[in-house]
Chains A and B, each alone.
Chain A
Amino acid sequence: MTERKPTGQVAEEVERIALPFLGDVSRFALSLTRDESEADDLVQETFVRAMRGWHTFEVGTDARRWLFTICRNAFLRSRERSHRLVLSEEGDLDAMQAVLGHVYATRAGIGDLFDRIDVGPAIRKAIDGLPEPHHSILVLIDVEEMKYADAAEVLGIPVGTVRSRLFRARRLVQEELIEHARDAHLLDGNGGRGAGEGG
């Protein structure tokens, strides 16, 4: 935390240092709210809070990460979504699960799925359907390309938790994608639906 600066200097620094990340914050806000009008309100709230809390920002550190933290906290407060899902934290098992899904789907003919259909809409739908906090983690790491440590700071959780929840989120997206392929009759028979469940 640093000494409070004159308001004019704060506004100048916010415009010079924080505002270049408007696009990033806007994208992140949209991923949280999934509604552009609501996202715009959240973006405005983020920058106003950033200005009011500018004395807590250390110039020279990662402004984008700091803004994302403010944005997510503002979002959680607005939604009163402070609750957390209680899920197991076994990242490597989720990785195994995803590979198994691929194994069974491959047997049913999913091998060249990405070449056969435009998977974008299906993946978008799957991401939009992810529960929190998995949705935020996937967006921060895979869409915004943050490092695990930076995402952990934005979300206020340990790096190991970021890892395990990211893997869970990816597995859920993959399962939705395979389900989409099945619905589109791109898979034969029972492939990808967990053949071997009784194993």
Chain B
Amino acid sequence: MIKPEKVKFPPDCEVVVRAIWDYLDGNVSADQLAEIEDHLAECEYCVAHTEFERDLIRHIKQLRARHSDPERLRHRVLAAIRDAKSE
């Protein structure tokens, strides 16, 4: 494993590096957002990192599982609810 404490990022980049997922999840303050976006406007490396992490999250979101027979499951659950009702 890489040891982050042993790698020095330029001080400006570290702001983005530490907050990258908070930024992508929309969980940063207005001040942090401005600071991050100002940095991204100037730093091609941080733009590349941000795009990679954004792509990763986008691909994860696309992996919603699908039931092979949702109608059968619906009938089964409805029957269980109605059985429970008559208990």
Contacts and interface: CB of A to CB of B under 8 A. Distances in A.
A51 B78 CA distance: 11
Contact of A120 (B49, B57, B62, B68): B62
A103 B49 contact: yes
A88 interface: no
Interface in B39-87: 45, 48-49, 52-53, 55-57, 59-68, 70, 73-74, 76-78, 80-82, 84-85
A99 B85 contact: no
A10 B49 CA distance: 51
A143 B17 CA distance: 23
Nearest to A141: B25
Contact of A47 (B45, B62, B80): B80
Chain B at the A interface: mostly helix, strand, loop or mixed? helix
Nearest to B1: A194
B27 interface: yes
A47 B81 contact: yes
B33 interface: no
Given A48-B80, A95-B21, A170-B21, A102 B1 contact: no
Contact of B70 (A22, A97, A98, A103): A22
B76 A40 contact: yes
A96 B76 CA distance: 46
B30 interface: no
A11 interface: yes
B5 to A, nearest CB: 8
B67 A52 contact: no
A60 interface: no
Nearest to A144: B64
B41 to A, nearest CB: 18
B11 interface: no
Nearest to A142: B60
A143 B74 contact: no
Interface of B: 1-4, 6-7, 9, 14, 17-22, 25, 27, 45, 48-49, 52-53, 55-57, 59-68, 70, 73-74, 76-78, 80-82, 84-85
23 contacts: A19-B74, A26-B70, A40-B76, A43-B77, A44-B76, A48-B84, A93-B4, A96-B18, A99-B20, A104-B2, A120-B63, A141-B25, A142-B60, A166-B21, A167-B21, A170-B21, A170-B56, A170-B60, A173-B56, A173-B60, A194-B2, A195-B2, A196-B2
